[in-house]
Amino acid sequence: MLFRYTALLFTIMTMRMRCSIASVAPTPQTIAAETSFYEHKKRLTIDSMSQSLRKMEYAVRGPVVIEADKIADQLAANPQQYPFDHIVYTNIGNPQSIGQMPLKWPRQVMALVDLPDEVGIDHPDVLKLFPQDAVDRAREIKNHALSGHGSGAYTHSKGVRAFRQDVADFIAARDGGIPSDPEAIFLSNGASNAINMVLTALIANERTGVMIPTPQYPIYSATIDLLNGHRVGYYMNEEKDWALNLEELERALATAQEEGIEVNSFVLINPGNPTGQVLSRENLHDIVRFCVKHNLVLLADEVYQENVYEGEFVSAKRAAYECGLLDQIELISFHSVSKGVFGECGRRGGYMELVGIDEKVQDELYKMASASLCATVAGQIMTSLMVRGPSPGEVSYESHEVEKKAIYDSLKRRSTIVSQGLDSIPGFSCRPAKGSMYCFPSVEMPPGAIRVAKERGTTPDALYCVSLLKSTGICVVPASGFGQRDGRFGFRTTFLPPEEEMQRCVEKIKEHYESFCKEYAT
């Protein structure tokens, strides 16, 4: 009896040990058997995800560009597949990706800041490779601005105080001595990050409206859609070189208010993207007065302020000062190292300046910046170098200015080549590109293109842009991605590729348009 009891106890203990082992280290077969009783469904699906994200569109990197990338891959595998040997990417303002050389002095300073001292600023032969002023500036940045922590450490969430002071000094000098407070300046990952922060703060609920130009840069429409706000479009006047008028602003605002939209802000892009306009001083005064009258926060996108080829750049802050409304305006302005003559898009450097913004709101924006820890330090440094280059008398000053002027002069020539060239094509109308990096021509679409586009569920200018891409390798962006009046069609193109390339592009666009019109004549 005792033997049988002991055997039974041993059997039970063995079974428990096996169960314990199985629970600790289940086999694939065990897992499969257990999970076979349940139907597996993905939790995150196209239907369960944010529908605001699905609705959001960003034309600059949209379907035409995706198609261009596919063709580029096909060309790499089979260069004879298309009647061209490379893609000309004119879809985005990314200067260095299509040949613009970086300025030497900022890169020299950046390299020295990143290098360990013993192989950089303190190396006995450093002056054989780097100019004295680059070494001095790098030493200043490393030892003082970055407090000896180097470029790999987090900074203050608003950005390094010394860099913000550089920006404040730049703004004051630009605007004729109007003071700028470094504590009201946030350094950011390009202007885009700062714009996103501000729109996040502004769009409090689904009734909130933001006035944006039509056409406009898609970051505004995309972000407003993502945040469930309302786009309140106001039309630019194409016949008058994309100028603004108060009647149109009042119309757009009144229409939105009648629809129950609570408009709280106004976006100004000057110089213009995608239109290339440079607004007059009178236009800017009108905008300032309009915003103060209707208690709207003015968001001034001024990233192309150095890209002015005809006329002059007047900042929104300067305009508010000239109107005597600087103490009444609520203004946030943006600038970036990605444009101008620097073209340092990949550095992700930029800033925003807050004027007349409630201090408690500034604290909330600081909290948002703190959640991301800080803007990229490389971008912060490049922003400082953009607004405070080598001083007159320093060894790099003249060469730095010569490099900048060469890039600017070439951009100015290209703006004329493309705007005048496109405007000369029968069926095209292109206003002069007085600023920025873009032309935004209007294109007459043949009846067949309008009909086929409708059948395919696309827009006529998207149909045209894909046809242009597949025939010539030129990648432009449909104007429908930026907004335009009903019945208007066209595209946006940069004029960033080399001058000879842009001249060739204009000729190819003309040839293609003639064949496109024949193909879709009826």
pLDDT over 70 percentage in the chain? 91
Mean pLDDT computed over 74-79? 90
471-509: pLDDT as tens digits: 999 999 999 989 899 999 999 999 999 999 999 999 999
Q: What is the pTM of this model?
A: 0.87
- The pLDDT tens digits of the residues spanning 80-105 come to 889 999 999 998 888 988 889 999 99
Lowest mean pLDDT among 148-157, 219-228, 301-310, 331-340: 148-157
Nearest to 369 by CA among 226, 204, 198, 182: 198
pLDDT of residue 24: 54
| Distance (Å, whole) CA 418 – CA 416 | 5
pLDDT at 338 over 50: yes
Ranges for all domains in the chain classified under CATH 3.90.1150.10: 52-98+401-519
Confidence of residue 41 (pLDDT cuts 50, 70, 90): confident
* Range(s) of the chain covered by CATH 3.40.640.10: 154-387
Question: What pLDDT shows up at residue 214?
Answer: 95
CA proximity to 121, closest of 105, 136, 110, 107: 136
End-to-end CA distance of the chain: 102
Q: What is the pLDDT of residue 334?
A: 98
pLDDT at 363: 93
* 286/445 Cα distance (integer angstroms): 35
Please state, in angstroms and rounded to a whole number, the distance separating the CA atoms of residues 42 and 257: 42
* Cα gap 498→95, rounded to integer Å: 10
Position 242 confidence tier, pLDDT thresholds 50, 70, 90: very high
pLDDT of residue 426: 96
Q: Which has the minimum average pLDDT: 40-49, 260-269, 411-420?
A: 40-49
Q: How confident is the model at residue 34 (pLDDT cuts 50, 70, 90)?
A: low
Residue found by looking up tokens 């946006």 in the block: 492
Q: Is 332 helix (H, G, I), strand (E, B) or coil?
A: strand
DSSP code of residue 144: I
- Say whether pLDDT at 1 is over 50: no
Strand-pair partners of 492: 477
Mean pLDDT of 224-246: 94
Half-sphere exposure of 386 (CA within 13 A, CB side): 32
* Structure tokens given for 28: 């694939």
What's the Cα-to-Cα distance from 194 to each of 189, 295, 379, 466, rounded to whole Å?
7, 22, 13, 33
| 430/275 Cα distance (integer angstroms) | 9
Q: How confident is the model at residue 44 (pLDDT cuts 50, 70, 90)?
A: confident
Distances (CA, A) of 147 to 47, 138, 160, 328: 50, 12, 10, 38
In the predicted structure, residue 22 carries a pLDDT above the cut 50:
no
CATH topology of domain 154-387: Aspartate Aminotransferase; domain 2 (3.40.640)
Residue 400's alpha-carbon distances to 142, 173, 393, in angstroms, are: 22, 20, 12
The fold for domain 52-98+401-519 equals Aspartate Aminotransferase, domain 1 (3.90.1150)
Instruction: For residue 330, give the 3-state DSSP assignment.
Output: coil
Answer yes or no: is pLDDT of 6 > 60: no
